Structure 1
């Protein structure tokens, strides 16, 4: 089976901002895009994106999960990068139109259609290192994906990094490619030296997030995760899981979590940890690596609360449970 996100639908929705107004969105081939080599995005990383999914329900309908929340974050990222303002309604139409166009290609459960709206600065101006792009391009790619856990529900190994940061603190809440690029070298080093799957960034001992997902500690009926601030990404899946946890009567503590507290709690029997994100929803963490030592999280295997939370969210996404929060948009 192809790796996640490597297969694309043959067309994408696209719109261009010329410095004054946005063009009418159109459907074009998704295998190419024409940019000047001096385009702002290629030199000064004026780019942001989103990741969300569409699901095929048993009645044949197609539903997009939490599109409104993703568009709000997309607009926020664009503003924080000084990209031209997007029109949220126009972006929503681009997403729903392209998903509707390929509705017959949306995989049935446990697969889904991954949606990648992207916004890039296009002005050809290599002298604007300290100025924004006046023109830009917005497009929406689709990628059909299968079951993230088809190979088994293996627990992840995380290296705790209490010195470096994933990205510049004021950029953390921006979903920009540069943030992922800055985390890549530490992740590669962690894999080579410790066989870690990801790095859990905890600058100054403050547990934040990994290179590509939010971190949740589950201790009994309590979920502990860092309170929202500008230093890390405000995950839509994170928000969804916390909402479901409250619905299930769990205590949700959004607060500072120190490395010392994490290590102490993680060693307790029954403790669980997980990473939340669009691709996996909740991926279990079985091992923490800190100061050269390996620490099991609880039993070191996938925990029942992680499975329950993930299944509850999946059931809403695939229409097997009531959508009482109005998270699904019909295409």
Structure 2
């Protein structure tokens, strides 16, 4: 039997924390990190001892497989602090399960719950002063795994590094955004790695997103690779459409990431009495609804942004402006407020989504 993982964890702390000089009010999302990080190597067909140590550079051989064949996956999570100074995670079991699904798809080793959840809790417990109170404040959590074995032979690595970084965060996006519906580019294809949270999925988005931004838009709503008639995701987020008083969102598939915020919003919306339909959403029906005035809202949903409202979209060089709704009329704002209140322990959690550290 393996020795107890958590009792065998190695912890080395910084001599002096940088927290007193950290500007929490003006932090750029994902740009600055806390004092410590967690690392754990996989070699000889087994996960090794976990180590929490001062945040520092990782040294890799130039021929490490991650650089040449892209074996890299990650997750995005958040921790929140309530008014009693208790720190909470939001549905970490879902991120753990998805991380391992991504690992399997990229021929990487699955990681055990003790290392992923247990190690995460130990790291955040050490860094709990970095979690700030107040709705809108959070600690962004970035677990990731990369292939580290040296050699440029085109085969899966046998050695890996699992790491967790922590970054104080505020809202990822501010204000509404304009998007462009993709007519040529796709985020993912059937049989590919679209359902995995793989690094390569995101690098493939950068160029078409750059083109959209040069045309005056913030992001791209991706369409299916086969026909470009089905709306799938918005930028790095899942996407919802409100026609009249019904919310529509595409089902998860080989192409669409199983977003934790997405599934939480679906469950929350249904519990609040909203009509929700999970089915393929066609470009044609959205442009038609926009033209006849029945399209009321579009919004993206993801860990970083929670919910990001979309004010209008472009398709085939025609721009469609969504109606200006009062705040109390917006499903997006209502759901965002209700979900973030649960995450921040400002409201009851009937779904038992929050986990105390």
Q: Same fold (TM over 0.5)?
A: yes
For residues 304 and 110 of structure 2, what CA distance do their matches in structure 1 show?
Answer: 27
Normalised by the size of structure 2, how large is the TM-score?
Answer: 0.88
Tell me by how many angstroms 1:173 deviates.
0.4
Tell me by how many angstroms 1:300 deviates.
7.6
Tell me by how many angstroms 1:65 deviates.
0.7
1:89 aligns with 2:114: yes
1:225 aligns with 2:246: no
The corresponding residue for 2:199 is: 177
The corresponding residue for 1:315 is: 341
The equivalences for 1:88-237 within 5 A come to 88-109=113-134, 110-127=136-153, 129=154, 131-148=155-172, 154-169=175-190, 170-193=192-215, 195-203=216-224, 204=227, 205-237=229-261
8 Å contact 2:185–2:222 — kept in the other structure?
Answer: yes
Tell me by how many angstroms 1:21 deviates.
1.1
- Runs of 4+ residues deviating >4 angstroms: 300-303
Deviating more after overlay: 112-121 vs 267-276: 267-276
The corresponding residue for 1:326 is: 352
8 Å contact 1:166–1:210 — kept in the other structure?
Answer: no
Instruction: Spell out, residue by residue over 1:71-103, the C-alpha distance to the aligned partner (whole angstroms, 9 max, x if none).
Output: 100010011000112112321111111111101
For residues 260 and 7 of structure 1, what CA distance do their matches in structure 2 show?
Answer: 42
For residues 163 and 209 of structure 2, what CA distance do their matches in structure 1 show?
Answer: 29
Aligned match for 2:303, one of 278, 298, 302: 278
Deviating more after overlay: 179-188 vs 140-149: 140-149
1:246 aligns with 2:261: no
8 Å contact 2:270–2:276 — kept in the other structure?
Answer: yes
Tell me by how many angstroms 1:301 deviates.
8.1
8 Å contact 1:41–1:120 — kept in the other structure?
Answer: yes
Deviating more after overlay: 48-57 vs 15-24: 15-24
Tell me by how many angstroms 1:320 deviates.
1.0
Tell me by how many angstroms 1:210 deviates.
2.3
| Residues 192 and 290 of structure 1: CA distance in aligned 2, closer, same or farther (over 3 Å) | same
Aligned match for 2:88, one of 63, 80, 94: 63
Instruction: Spell out, residue by residue over 1:260-303, the C-alpha distance to the aligned partner (whole angstroms, 9 max, x if none).
Output: 01112234256111000111111101111111111012338876
Normalised by the size of structure 1, how large is the TM-score?
Answer: 0.94
For residues 202 and 150 of structure 2, what CA distance do their matches in structure 1 show?
Answer: 24
Give unpaired runs (5+ residues) of structure 1: none
The 3-state SS of whatever aligns with 2:342 is helix
1:20 aligns with 2:48: no
